[in-house]
């Protein structure tokens, strides 16, 4: 995604934030929102990655406490022509992952314990390669900033419902406040969707090329999508504005979470990967193996034969 498109989308999120401020407090509310948005953009640029990692309870790991995962990430990063990212693990039973960071030199890849337990080594490599593709495309800064601002828009809309806005200064009143509480997060979601749809397909393609096997990622997507509908991710439910950062939408769809369904259909992503596999001459069937061996390469056990990335 180009820097011009990034600037346009960030400007749109800022304008939306100002619009919410205007509806709640008139011209003065819009100015306050502009100042707050500027501060948030500055904060998000430097700190949003750490904030998102903290929201999901991600803990850093290195070559000492996760040697095989660390080695896999390092080999795939080298294959992608990227510096070694920081690695985080989230103690969460739902298999999922995301990448964050303002640039490739300050990037991080976070995976859940569920991902490491339920995926084979090859599938895990496909997921990691997908996240490295986001880093290489410079998606991660935009993803974390939009998550921060979208969350703030939802929060300020809910505050408006409780505090009633500025009714004496062309404020929206009670009916307007209810509409604001619903429509403001919806508008933020539309901006997130504009980012997510194309970036996921692009990251799928580059990730498949990084690991060399599109069907590893296709198999992983099928497993993660199936598990996401069965295993709740409570951290994501508490911070739905971060849902677009994950490789598969982590939300169960309860309450207002459906507003943040920003990912393309998984079957369409798998179909695109199957087509890519045909172009690359790779195996075009999703692997039938459903679970990894008990001692996977991510927990210090005996490693399987290493894939073409190493």
Dump pLDDT digits (tens) for 191-246.
656 666 668 999 999 999 999 999 999 999 999 999 998 999 999 988 877 888 89
**Mean pLDDT of all residues belonging to the chain:** 78
Sheet of strand 58-61, all strands in order from the earlier edge strand to the far edge: 58-61, 86-90, 108-112, 97-100
What values do phi and psi take at 103, rounded to 5? -165, 170
Is a pLDDT exceeding 60 seen at residue 264?
A: yes
Catalytic residues: 131
Highest mean pLDDT among 27-36, 115-124, 291-300: 115-124
DSSP type of residue 63: T
Using alpha carbons only, what angle is made at residue 109 by residues 107 and 111, rounded to the nearest 5 degrees? 165
pTM to 2 decimal places: 0.76
Residue 147's pLDDT band (cuts 50, 70, 90) = low
User: Sorting pLDDT into bands at 50, 70 and 90, what band is 109?
Assistant: very high
Q: Are 207 and 116 in contact (CB under 8 A)?
A: no
Residue bearing the bigger pLDDT, 32 or 198: 32
% of the chain residues with pLDDT over 90? 43
pLDDT, residue 160, reads 55
* Neighbouring residues of 248: CB distance < 8 A, sequence distance ≥ 6: 96, 221, 224, 225, 228, 263, 266
């Amino acid at each position: 995604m180009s820097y011009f498109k990034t600037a346009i989308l960030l400007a749109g999120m800022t304008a939306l934030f100002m619009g919410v401020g205007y509806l709640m407090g008139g011209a003065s509310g819009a100015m306050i929102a502009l100042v707050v948005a500027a501060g948030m953009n500055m904060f998000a640029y430097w700190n949003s990655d750490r904030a998102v990692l903290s929201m999901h309870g991600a803990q850093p790991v290195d070559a000492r406490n996760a040697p095989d995962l660390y080695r896999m990430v390092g080999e795939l990063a080298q294959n992608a022509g990227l510096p070694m990212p920081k690695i985080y693990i989230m103690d969460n039973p739902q298999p999922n992952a995301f990448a964050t960071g303002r640039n490739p030199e300050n990037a991080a890849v976070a995976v859940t314990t569920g991902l490491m337990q339920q995926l084979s080594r090859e599938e895990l490599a496909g997921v990691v390669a997908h996240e490295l593709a986001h880093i290489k495309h410079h998606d991660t800064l935009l993803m974390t900033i939009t998550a921060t601002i979208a969350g703030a828009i939802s929060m300020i809309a809910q505050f408006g419902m409780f505090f009633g806005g500025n009714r004496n200064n062309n404020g929206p009143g009670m009916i307007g406040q209810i509409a604001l509480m619903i429509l403001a997060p919806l508008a933020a979601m539309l901006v997130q969707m504009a980012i997510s749809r194309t970036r996921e397909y692009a990251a799928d393609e580059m990730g498949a090329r990084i690991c060399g096997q599109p069907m590893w990622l296709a198999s992983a997507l099928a497993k993660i999508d199936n598990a996401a509908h069965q295993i709740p991710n409570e951290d994501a439910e508490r911070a739905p504005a971060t849902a677009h950062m994950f490789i598969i939408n982590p939300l169960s769809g309860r309450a207002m979470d459906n507003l943040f369904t920003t990912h393309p259909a998984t079957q369409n992503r798998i179909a695109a990967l199957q087509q890519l596999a045909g172009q690359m001459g790779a195996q075009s069937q999703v692997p039938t193996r459903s679970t990894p061996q008990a001692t996977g390469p991510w927990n210090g056990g005996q490693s399987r034969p290493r894939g073409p990335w190493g």
